[in-house]
Amino acid sequence: MGNQGVGAVISASLPVVRTGNVRSGRPSLSALRGGSSALDPWPLGQPPDACSCELSPSDEGGSGSRAVIPCLHLVLPWPHLNRGIGCPESTMTQMNPDAEWKVGDKAVYPSHGVGEITAIESNELFGPNATVYVLELLHSSRRILIPTAKAAQVGLREVVSGVQAAEVLEALKGDPPPTKAMPWTKRQRALLEKLSSGSLYDVAEVLRELYHLKGVKDLSFGQRRLFDTATSLLVQELSIALGQNAEEIEEHIRTIFSW
């Protein structure tokens, strides 16, 4: 199964599973690597390093209640995706292992975007006496539970600074580096890895490449999904870093690529 470390996190196309008034995505092997059977909710026989659930009001109109469904964040069995979080040369991916988060802090979780720490609480799902950060994503109803002892390992980081945000926007103006010809499935995996790296610069590289591709042909369904994901991740974080609304950031990005 390769490296069984923290690994990378990939967002797959997730069907919705309902239990009472709780909705959770459960990825299948077909969504991740072309198989047909369902993944064990706890791959490798161990609890995940983080888990998430999406909360919604019940059909009867009641308010949503908290639940933990460990079925989204996976330690992937592909060694090339288990190489660690981010690119070492990028200052935006340096995680502080001693960082202590407080309730109310904004934080970025790889491939999911910006959230707010809304609680720090005990949760034995991750082991005896374990404590977790409860991260509520700002642009969805999903909550992610992150063991406090593994926050840096799973890639939790601060929102980029205004200076770094300006550098990311400047990087969008350059030409994408040449890439060798390869089947789309392999290229897609490389782009997914970048989206999951935790680096906003990597996300910008994905968007830049897809914008250039979009300029020469219509994007396929899969390419369009990557394009939309990269756009969303970039816009949410830049809007917070620069103190601008999302519409202004989106318009600025479109202007960059209006050749």
Are residue 27 and residue 134 in the same domain, yes or no?
A: yes
The tally of domains found in the chain comes to 2
Query: 96, 123, 150 — which closes off a domain?
Result: 150
SS (H, E, C) the chain: CCCCCCCCCCCCCCCEEEECCEEEECCEHHHHHCCCCECCCCHHHCCCCCEEEEECCCCCCCCCCCCCCCCCCCCCCCHHHCCCCCCCCCHHHCCCCCCCCCCCCEEEECCCEEEEEEEEEECHHHCCCCEEEEEEECCCCEEEEEEHHHCCCCCCECCCCHHHHHHHHHHCCCCCCCCCCCCHHHHHHHHHHHHCCCCHHHHHHHHHHHHHHHCCCCCCHHHHHHHHHHHHHHHHHHHHHHCCCHHHHHHHHHHHCCC
Are residue 169 and residue 143 in the same domain, yes or no?
A: no
**Which pLDDT score, from 0 to 100, does residue 38 have?**
34
57 in any annotated domain: yes
Q: How confident is the model at residue 257 (pLDDT cuts 50, 70, 90)?
A: very high
- CATH code for position 174: 1.20.58.1290
Are residue 144 and residue 167 in the same domain, yes or no?
A: no
174 in any annotated domain: yes
10 in any annotated domain: no
Query: 115, 150, 185 — which closes off a domain?
Result: 150
Residue-wise pLDDT for 26-59, tens only, equals 333 233 233 333 333 333 344 556 665 544 333 3
Are residue 192 and residue 247 in the same domain, yes or no?
A: yes
Are residue 132 and residue 231 in the same domain, yes or no?
A: no
Q: What are phi and psi of 49, to 5 degrees?
A: -80, -20
Query: What residue has token string 């770094």?
Result: 164
229 in any annotated domain: yes
Q: Kindly state the average pLDDT of the residues 235-244.
A: 96
201 in any annotated domain: yes
Give residue 98's domain range: 16-150
231 in any annotated domain: yes
Are residue 24 and residue 142 in the same domain, yes or no?
A: yes
Are residue 217 and residue 132 in the same domain, yes or no?
A: no
Are residue 94 and residue 183 in the same domain, yes or no?
A: no
Are residue 130 and residue 56 in the same domain, yes or no?
A: yes
The CA distance from 249 to 59, in Å, is 36
| Of the candidates 105, 117, 99, 89, the residue with the CA atom closest to the CA atom of residue 199 | 89
What lies within 8 Å, CB to CB, of 2 at 6+ separation is 77, 78, 79, 82
**Which pLDDT score, from 0 to 100, does residue 58 have?**
35
SS (H, E, C) 17-33: EEECCEEEECCEHHHHH
Q: Kindly state the average pLDDT of the residues 199-211.
A: 95
Query: 150, 183, 212 — which closes off a domain?
Result: 150
Residue-wise pLDDT for 9-23, tens only, equals 333 333 332 223 333
Q: Calculate ∠ Cα 206-247-108, nearest 5°.
A: 50
242 in any annotated domain: yes
Are residue 106 and residue 65 in the same domain, yes or no?
A: yes
Are residue 173 and residue 142 in the same domain, yes or no?
A: no
pTM of the model: 0.66
5 in any annotated domain: no
- Give, to the nearest 10 degrees, the angle between helix 221-242 and helix 200-214: 130
Q: How confident is the model at residue 176 (pLDDT cuts 50, 70, 90)?
A: confident
